[in-house]
Amino acid sequence: MDQIVMSDTTPAASRRAARISRGDSLEELAIATGLTVAEIAAAEEPGEPVPEHHVERIEHVLA
């Protein structure tokens, strides 16, 4: 059976992949950024509106 693999290269998916590759949980990233778990989860969900300052805080910690 053939499988179709689609890569998700959205910015949200990239943030999630970066967090997971660091071994951070949502809770750990929330503590490091000062954001809530819900705000982090929304920033990792493609298509969700996320304030730019949340994205900046997440990306600063993940860099």
pLDDT in tens, 7-50: 568 999 999 999 999 999 999 999 999 999 999 999 999 988 99
* Amino acid 9: pLDDT: 83
- Token pair in block for residue 46: 């493609």
CA dihedral for 4, 50, 27, 31, sign (positive or negative): positive
Q: Is the pTM of this model over 0.75?
A: yes
38, part of any domain: yes
**Domain residue limits at 47:** 11-62
- Counting the structural domains of the chain, the total is 1
50, part of any domain: yes
* Amino acid 23: pLDDT: 97
Q: What is the 3-state secondary structure (H, E, C) of 1-63?
A: CCCCCCCCCCHHHHHHHHHHHHCCCHHHHHHHHCCCHHHHHHHCCCCCCCCHHHHHHHHHHHC
21, part of any domain: yes
Domain containing 53 — which CATH number? 1.10.260.40
